[in-house]
């Protein structure tokens, strides 16, 4: 008897144990676990109390066989430590967990068509119900547009019109807001430190900057090209510091703005008294730059939530057509901008 008791204590509880403790049938426990209607409230409460007391954990594989739903979503992510893509992934994962989904992530070093297709196929073979693809580069946008998949796919971050459901940030709008704010402060024009040419965000932010200048009849300076890193912003800043007529700079991300600020400081160019600087992203450290950085904030939590909502709508067949969701960024004013210096 003692041996049997010890064995019972060591094994994991099963559904039959829950049913016995709650005084209900195995089928009733199953209905409670699967959220089925027509279960009396007091019965449901007894089953849930038994689950808590036994610390019962449903077998997700067995449950998937019964419900034909894995409650798992796949994410194809770009293998990057950059704040933008990494924060997108974090936002998607948090939103998925809040909605009761598991997440299976595949990170790729290359977002070419073949790599993306193979990643989606692997996730589909794992039984995911749908896939989110983080698509920050032009190659990824093209790859997503050519995908062949038997499960719904939603792309995040590209902002380009495709037949694939898409959630993106209004990069053109945000860049235009940043540029327009600097022009409103009396700056004759705004110089731009852009990101890599093959990134959609870089292209869209550059376009938003250019259109804002053209709409105001302001000169359009040559673009300084960076690679998103603070180092590249620093190198661009050294070149910009040598131009005596520069009074305002819009950087395509905050890391490049950080490098630019250091270069201007080393060159003896005061920010914002001589040169105003605006970034993009609002990384957590932006408020602690010297001076605190005016920047364009992206809500990555909202981006993840909306991507998950759109994917669930695709699963349920209720998504709008075309399913394109764009989230407006917000200009955050800090002390790195000021009125143009009088000549």
Least confident of 31-45, 232-246, 271-285: 31-45
How would residue 59 be classed by pLDDT, with cut points 50, 70 and 90?
A: low
* Residue 171 pLDDT greater than 60, yes or no: yes
pLDDT confidence of residue 190: 98
Q: Is the peptide bond before 143 cis (omega within 30 degrees of 0)?
A: no
Decide if 195 contacts 253 (C-beta within 8 A). yes
Least confident of 60-64, 73-77, 93-97: 60-64
Distance, in Å, from the CA atom of 36 to the CA atom of 39, rounded to the nearest integer, reads 7
Helix axes 41-54, 26-33, angle to 10 degrees: 90
Give the SS3 label for residue 32.
helix
Q: What is the mean pLDDT of residues 51-77?
A: 68
**Secondary structure letter of residue 280 according to DSSP:** E
Q: How far is CA 253 from CA 105, 233, 260, 323, 337, in A?
A: 26, 9, 11, 28, 16
Give tens-digit pLDDT for 116-126.
Answer: 888 888 888 88
Decide if 238 contacts 256 (C-beta within 8 A). no
How would residue 138 be classed by pLDDT, with cut points 50, 70 and 90?
A: confident
* Residue 4 pLDDT greater than 50, yes or no: no
Extract the tokens encoding 330: 């917000």
Separation of CA 185 from chain center: 32
How would residue 82 be classed by pLDDT, with cut points 50, 70 and 90?
A: confident
Q: Give the dihedral of Cα atoms 86, 89, 91, 96; nearest 10 deg.
A: -160
Gyration radius of the chain over CA positions: 26
* Residue 114 pLDDT greater than 60, yes or no: yes
pLDDT confidence of residue 6: 44
pLDDT confidence of residue 266: 97
How would residue 270 be classed by pLDDT, with cut points 50, 70 and 90?
A: very high
Give tens-digit pLDDT for 208-220.
Answer: 999 999 999 999 9
Least confident of 7-11, 44-48, 255-259, 305-309: 7-11
Percent of the chain surpassing pLDDT 90: 43
pLDDT confidence of residue 173: 96
**Secondary structure letter of residue 137 according to DSSP:** B
Average pLDDT score, the chain:
86
Q: What is the mean pLDDT of residues 280-285?
A: 95
pLDDT confidence of residue 265: 97
Least confident of 61-70, 76-85, 110-119, 253-262: 61-70
Q: Is the pTM of this model over 0.85?
A: no
pLDDT confidence of residue 8: 43
pLDDT confidence of residue 67: 43
* Residue 11 pLDDT greater than 80, yes or no: no
Q: What is the mean pLDDT of residues 220-231?
A: 97
How would residue 1 be classed by pLDDT, with cut points 50, 70 and 90?
A: very low
């Amino acid at each position: 008897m003692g041996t049997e008791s010890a064995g019972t204590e060591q094994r994991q509880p099963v559904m039959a144990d829950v049913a016995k403790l709650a005084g209900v049938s195995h089928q009733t426990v199953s209905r409670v676990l699967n959220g089925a209607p027509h279960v009396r409230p007091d019965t449901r409460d007894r089953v849930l109390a038994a689950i808590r007391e036994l610390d019962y954990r449903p077998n997700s594989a067995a449950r998937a066989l019964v419900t034909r739903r894995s409650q798992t979503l796949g994410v194809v992510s770009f293998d990057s430590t950059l704040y933008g893509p990494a924060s997108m992934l974090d936002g998607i994962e948090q939103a998925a967990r809040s909605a009761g989904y598991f997440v299976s992530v595949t990170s790729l070093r290359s977002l070419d068509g073949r790599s993306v297709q193979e990643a989606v196929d692997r996730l589909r073979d794992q039984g995911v119900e749908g896939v989110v693809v983080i698509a920050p580069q032009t190659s990824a946008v093209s790859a997503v547009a050519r995908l062949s998949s038997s499960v719904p796919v939603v792309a995040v971050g590209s902002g380009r019109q495709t037949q694939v459901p898409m959630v993106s940030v209004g990069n053109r709008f945000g860049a235009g807001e940043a540029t327009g704010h600097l022009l409103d402060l009396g700056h004759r024009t705004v110089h731009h430190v852009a990101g890599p040419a093959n990134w959609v965000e870089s292209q869209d932010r550059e376009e938003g900057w250019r259109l804002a200048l053209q709409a105001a009849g302001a000169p359009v300076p040559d673009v300084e090209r960076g690679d998103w890193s603070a180092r590249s912003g620093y190198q661009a800043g050294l070149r910009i510091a040598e131009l005596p007529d520069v009074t305002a700079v819009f950087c395509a991300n905050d890391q490049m703005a950080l490098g630019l600020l250091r270069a201007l400081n080393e060159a003896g160019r005061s920010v914002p008294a001589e040169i105003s600087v605006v970034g993009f992203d609002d990384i957590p450290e932006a408020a602690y730059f010297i001076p605190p950085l005016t920047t364009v904030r992206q809500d990555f939590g909202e981006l993840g939530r909306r991507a998950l909502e759109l994917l669930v709508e695709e699963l349920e067949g209720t998504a709008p057509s075309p399913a394109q969701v764009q989230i407006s960024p917000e200009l955050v004013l800090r002390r790195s901008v000021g009125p143009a210096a009088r000549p």
